[in-house]
A and B are shown apart, each in its own frame.
Chain A
Amino acid sequence: MIKDLVNPTNFNLMVSKVGDVLVRALDKPLGYAINWGRVWSLWPVHLETACCSVEFGAASGPRYDVERFGIIEAFGSLRQCDLIVVQGTVTRKMAPRLRMVYDQMPEPKYVIAMGACAITGGLYIDSYNVLPGVDGIIPVDVYVPGCPPRPETLIQGTMLLQEKIKRSKIK
């Protein structure tokens, strides 16, 4: 009887249920602390898809300085990153690479679609090589409109994302 019950499927079920109980127990005391850590250390992947990267560069420069809001201009591995800013037009050649980069990032991960092209295709909506928006291939958290968005707009978008993270439950 007991031997029948002990199998990998049931073991996995039990582990996940114990995990659920643990998360529920820890959510209130620890959730605030964990989210606080996530909010103030967002590491973006350095993946430039089109021309909005110029304004992203300006935003990390000395005048706009996104680092004071906890967005670190990372030049490291994407295995350490948790934010992907899609900087503009996504073409048919770039789309599989974007998806691959997104899949390789560890959980939890957030996406900001920057610029009109990343939202709907923008100026290039009738071009033969451009995707009409990036939300067809990866889930988007915050849309930042503009062509290109001013650095202030990008900073406001990241602050909205931080609000979202603060209110979300830990996984």
Chain B
Amino acid sequence: MSDQEERISETTRLGLEIVKEAEEDRLMTLSVGPQHPGSGHFRFTVKVDGDYIVDCDPDPGYVHRGEEKMCEYRNFIQNIPHLERPVIHDSSNITYSYSLAVEELVKIDVPRRAQFIRAIASELNRQIYTLYWLAIYGIFLGHSTMFMWPTGDRELIIDLMEALTGARVTHAYNIPGGVRNDIPYGFKDRCLRQVTNFEKRLKEYEDIFYNNPLLRQRTEGVAILTKEDAIKLGVTGSVLRASGIPYDIRKAEPYDIYDEIDFNVQYLKTCDSFARAYVPLLDMRESCHIIRQLLDKMPESGEVRAKLQPNPKGPPGEAYRRVESGRGALGYYIVSDGTPKPYRVKISVGSFRNLLALPHLLVGSKLGDMPSVYWSLNYWPVEADR
């Protein structure tokens, strides 16, 4: 009797093992990137059970170039060109917060006209960044028209920035103490015309892309990031605003001229993938309003650059300033020991925080939703790796 019992229990154990192995075999591990149509310089592995993702493991760091360490062997002015390389299509914003932090360390005031020009450059760059993001989002969803239209419209704003700064994407325009040079002749009219045309274009984007039933089906109600989760994960920028929280650094802790500008923080309460894709478009529209006000209120003449010693240095101390970039809060924490070179620079970027939400959103959603969920997080790998 006992032999029989043992035999039965052994058979059950063997059977259970076979079932377990079969269950493990059912899960398939897929590696996405770095050679991948969209993700580019980023890799993540997903485990799928049939059509559903059960596990996600992001692997950033393919473009880690040691920016923070490199800052330590260059002086404050020499640091500007390489600090804008992480997001070359949003370079005015990434040097904006650096300039603000250095100004706080060196203790200089920025002329009023320079503050306006900086804000205009920053808003134009936000549009350039968001258009590129939108173009890649179109590719992710197999919508080729949405790659061509924003890429073409982006060139017009790039022309404007080229007239202002002299470079296509890497401007090095914001420097500690103001901006590098004054606006060119006829810039104001050209900028106004561009903003008016661009607002008309945004309506067409809505018609062809955002009101497209295919996009709606693929993104509405997909990968919901609730208000509580968004706060817990610490996401910023458009992802946070798509979860129903009206938080914008320009409004929460206004820098330079932004406390004199009248604008609304754009946010949606639906918390899904569609909201995260739609908030950047609303941001671009609000950005057009801001540029119009800035051009209206800008003083006609004046200094654009405060007098600064050739190799600026301040007393020992630390500074932390942040701005609202295309991807969210972008802050620089600089420690100075009294020499012309910084002792330590820490860059806090929005992309890396938004990446933390990726495993949270992907687990439980379908494999087909992966591209739209991934790119809706407004994530730029080069910036996150620094």
List A residues at the B interface (Cβ < 8 Å): 45-51, 53-55, 57-58, 60-63, 75, 78, 89, 91, 93-94, 97, 101, 123-124, 126-130, 147-148, 150
Contacts and interface: CB of A to CB of B under 8 A. Distances in A.
A83 to B, nearest CB: 14
Contacts of B152: 61-63
B169 interface: yes
A57 B88 contact: no
Interface in B131-182: 132, 135-136, 139, 147-148, 151-152, 154-155, 158, 168-170
Which of A63, A93, A124, A129 counts the most chain B CB atoms within 10 A?
A93
A154 B160 CA distance: 22
A62 B169 CA distance: 17
Main secondary structure of the interface of A (DSSP, over half): loop
A127 B63 CA distance: 12
Nearest to B89: A54
B347 to A, nearest CB: 14
B66 A130 contact: yes
Given A61-B135, A91-B65, 9 more contacts: A45-B35, A54-B169, A55-B168, A57-B135, A63-B155, A91-B63, A123-B81, A123-B82, A148-B170
21 contacts: A46-B36, A47-B35, A48-B34, A48-B41, A49-B62, A51-B63, A51-B88, A51-B382, A57-B132, A57-B135, A58-B151, A75-B37, A78-B35, A94-B41, A94-B63, A97-B34, A97-B62, A123-B85, A126-B73, A127-B65, A127-B70
A45 B135 CA distance: 19
B66 to A, nearest CB: 4
A130 B37 CA distance: 24
A57 to B, nearest CB: 7
A55 B169 CA distance: 9
B218 to A, nearest CB: 18
A61 B155 contact: yes
Interface in B19-35: 34-35
A51 B170 CA distance: 11
B151 A129 contact: no
Given A48-B41, A51-B85, A124 B70 contact: yes
A133 B158 CA distance: 29
| Nearest 3 Cβ contacts at the A-B interface | A61-B151, A48-B40, A75-B37
B151 A148 contact: no
B316 interface: no
B88 A148 contact: yes
B69 interface: yes
Contacts of A78: 35
B15 interface: no
B350 interface: no
Given A46-B37, A58-B154, A101-B35, A94 B65 contact: no
Contacts of B136: 57
Nearest to A104: B35
Nearest to B383: A51
Contacts of B70: 124, 126-127
A94 B34 contact: yes
B64 interface: yes
Contacts of A53: 40-41
A63 B135 CA distance: 14
Contacts of A51: 63, 85-88, 382
A94 to B, nearest CB: 5
B219 to A, nearest CB: 20
B149 to A, nearest CB: 8
Contacts of A50: 41, 63, 65, 382
B82 A124 contact: yes
A93 B382 contact: no
A148 B169 contact: yes
Contacts of A126: 70, 73
B61 interface: yes
B197 to A, nearest CB: 16
B221 to A, nearest CB: 27
Nearest to A59: B151
Nearest to B159: A63
A150 B158 CA distance: 12
A130 to B, nearest CB: 6
B325 to A, nearest CB: 15
